[in-house]
Structure 1
Amino acid sequence: MLNINVSTFGFETFKLCIQILGTPMSWLQRDLTDFDLKLLQVFRTVVECGGFTAAETELGISRSTISIHMSSLETRLGMRLCQRGRQGFSLTREGQAVFNALLSLSEAHEEFRHQVASINQDLSGELVLLAADQLDPPRQLHIAQALRRIKQQAPDLQIHFDLLPLQQIELALLKNQAHLALMPGYRRIDGLAYAHAFSTPIYLCCGATHPLFEVADDALDIARLAEFETVHPGVNINPEGRKLLQKLKTSGRAYQFDSRLSMILSGAYLGFMPSAISAPFLAQRQLRYLLPETFNYPFEQFYVSRKQPREPEKVTLALEALQGEN
């Protein structure tokens, strides 16, 4: 949700955005009130939520109140911003232009914050780190050590570390909403930089209740394995992994390793798991590898950032901390 502060953005920046749209300047020839800012905030939230109903929860106000606010904003701007009715919510051409201007305004706000923060040599504000996959215990320890080094060097930083789907991570990096991510690099996106983090082997597994659990490897072959359903990761993986999956009967889908593990342990599916996560289950004979010499591929992870980030010093700090010990 956008929190617009004219004193932070600069009123001239806001006027420029509106002038580009051709909005009547009579609205801008007076001081912008808190109510005006509230209306703009409501408008952006409605657009990002895709309509009035979905915006009710986000804004904490009723649909009828949202409708009143939108009508007030349209009256102030002298233009219709959206169509709403039985056919659903959609922006008019003018509404899309106003929304684009608000996005530019938000970027100007972030750039202003960065420039002010850079006056002080001490790093402060947020450092947003993301990961796309469940971390095994060795990797969790590595991340913990890196976070400790970051806080030692920049104690005023507020670290945010979350797990998100790949596409959301890529979008967050491109929009400067995150500084660094740990994720697979099978798909390379223009505008993002990739630095190799680590590689770990992934093996085809079955659970203790699966029909193949007690079958010796010398009695198994590709044709036999292909008789049974195999969990698909649900995303693109490296070429070696793709070739192996093409030989099997992929059925269920599970990207995250913890959910995939549950499907394998059910005995209904085969599936690929990293060695570090599967090791304790192997020791307890709850899992076993199937033809491990053949059915394995490397699971590669990369540290990914925007090629030209808004806050490069934070990216550098995080990357150096993470690459310090492998």
Structure 2
Amino acid sequence: MLTNLSDLDLRLIRVFLAVVDAGGLSLAQAMLNVNQSTISTQLSTLEARLGFRLCDRGRSGFRLTPKGDRFAQAARRMLDVVNDFCEEARNIEKKLSGSLRIGLIGHTDPVQNAKLGLAISSFRERDEAVRFHIFNRSPNEIEEQMLAGELDMGIGYFWHQLPELEYVSLYVETQVAYCGRGHALFGSLERIGTVDVGNYEWIGRSYPVPEFESQFGQQNYSARADNMEAVAVLIMSGRYCGFLPAHFAAPYVALGLLQPLNTDELSYRVTIHTCSRKASRRSDVIEAFMSDLRAAMQPL
């Protein structure tokens, strides 16, 4: 039973994960630059240290045991922490060091993404040694992982805004109503208004959109979707109307697949926020990056 962790254990764990990533001992040979018998011996040594079998290996192929699968996940988390520690120790003299884990929603405006890139560039000019980790997550996942300590900050549309977190306005996104090719309104010069909305089938969101509901009220939807790509697909069926971010819909409009219905009347604006811990709990790294982000979000 493993009760303490030695340098040998770390080496054996890295061998084990290399075999898992390669999908077997034979494919791991080139990666590790050792022969199969040596790898097999190293795995057996690790299993003896742990007190359970990690994988089945032989003529029938390579397969993780249930315990081996759980151990692989735990080992990856442990090595991430070790790597972060080593990185921080190497750069302890730097004013800012550590990791910055950011969650982003998908399908954001390319112009705003470019500004995020500028913020990262500005941050890298500081006296820092920070490792960036950027993940694509839904708004709910960002908030959940913020509370669990798995993310340091998020950027997205947050409709309920949890009291445990702090939200700061970043930029505004315009949502416009569209129909698709094959729809009765496609190609028509008629500009339907709010009073006409009930005459057509619409796609709703699987999450609340207060900005929409305050302007258009609750609608009876024939379909629902939880992401922009799904909304676009349903609109392009020619059976529904729906709202999309103007920047996201633009390529579809250019291809003649979507048509805006009435950008003046059938549109609304949502605010994209940063999401982070309360100021008293934020690290110097997060404070510095958020400062650079606010500066970068000024008009290009």
The TM-score range, normalised by the shorter chain, is: 0.5 to 0.7
Q: In the alignment, what sits opposite 2:184? A: 211
Q: Give the aligned CA root-mean-square deviation in angstroms.
A: 5.0
Report the CA distance shift for 1:55/1:166 in structure 2 as closer, same or farther (over 3 A): farther
Distance change >3 Å, CA 80–CA 147, structure 1 → 2 = closer
Change in 2 beyond 3 A, CA 1:291/1:315: same
Using the alignment, how far apart are the partners of 1:225 and 1:142 within structure 2? 38
Task: Give the share of equivalent positions with the same residue, in percent.
Answer: 20
Aligned partners of 2:158, 2:194: CA distance in 1, in Å?
Answer: 36
Q: Is the 8 A contact 2:173 2:245 kept in 1?
A: yes
**CA–CA distance in 2 between the matches of 1:161 and 1:98?**
22
State how far apart, in whole Å, the 1-side matches of 2:256 and 2:23 are.
Answer: 50
- Residue in structure 2 matched with residue 153 of structure 1 by the alignment: 126
1:221 shift after superposition: 2.7
Supply the distance in 2 between the matched residues of 1:219 and 1:186 (Cα, whole angstroms).
Answer: 23
Partner of 1:73: 46
Match of 2:11 in 1: 38
In 2, are the aligned partners of 1:192 and 1:307 still within 8 Å (CA)? yes
1:61 matches 2:28: yes
Cα gap change, 1:177 to 1:57, in 2 (>3 Å): farther
Partner AA of 1:204 in structure 2: A
Q: Which residue of 2 aligns with 1:225?
A: 200
Residue 206 of structure 1: how far off its partner (Å): 1.0
Deviation at 1:61, TM superposition (A): 3.1
What is the Cα deviation at residue 321 of structure 1?
Answer: 1.4
User: What is the one-letter code of the residue matched to 2:272?
Assistant: Q
The corresponding residue for 1:267 is 238
CA contact (8 A) 1:202 1:299 kept: yes
| Residue of structure 2 in register with 1:17 after alignment | none
1:65-124 CA-partner distances (Å, limit 9, x unpaired)? 8886554322123x2266979xx84239xx979976985675466356436634322x46
1:166 touches 1:183 (CA, 8 Å); kept in 2? yes
Quick check: 2:170–2:271 contact (8 Å CA) kept in 1? yes
State the secondary structure of the residue aligned to 1:236.
coil
1:322 is matched with: 293
1:203-241 Cα shifts (integer Å, max 9, x gaps): 221134422232541696343222x6x3x55x5243354
Taking a change above 3 Å as real, the CA distance of residues 118 and 181 of structure 1, as seen in their structure-2 partners, is: farther
Provide the secondary structure at the position in 1 that maps to 2:227. coil
- Superposition TM-score, scaled by structure 2 size: 0.64
Contact 2:84 2:98 in 1 (8 A): no
Are the aligned partners of 2:87 and 2:98 in contact in 1 as well (CA < 8 Å)?
A: no
Change (3 A) 1:110 1:161: closer
Question: What residue in structure 2 maps to residue 119 of structure 1?
Answer: 93
Q: How far apart in 1 are the matches of 2:279 and 2:259?
A: 45
Matches within 5 A, 1:1-326: 23=2, 32-33=7-8, 36-41=9-14, 56=23, 61=28, 70-77=43-50, 79-80=51-52, 89-91=65-67, 103=77, 107=81, 110-111=84-85, 113-114=87-88, 117-121=91-95, 123=96, 127-154=100-127, 163-166=136-139, 169=142, 173=146, 179-186=152-159, 188=161, 192-213=165-186, 214=188, 215-217=190-192, 221-226=196-201, 230=203, 233=205, 236-241=207-212, 246-250=219-223, 253=225, 255-256=227-228, 260-261=231-232, 264-265=235-236, 267-278=238-249, 287-290=258-261, 296-306=267-277, 312-324=283-295, 325-326=297-298
- Structure 1 residues 111 and 284: CA distance shift in structure 2, 3 A: closer
Structure 1, unmatched stretches of 5+, are 1-21, 47-51
Instruction: Extract unaligned runs of 5+ from structure 2.
Output: 30-35, 58-63
Q: 1:32 to 1:146 in 2, by over 3 A?
A: closer
Measure how far apart 1:151 and its partner are: 3.4
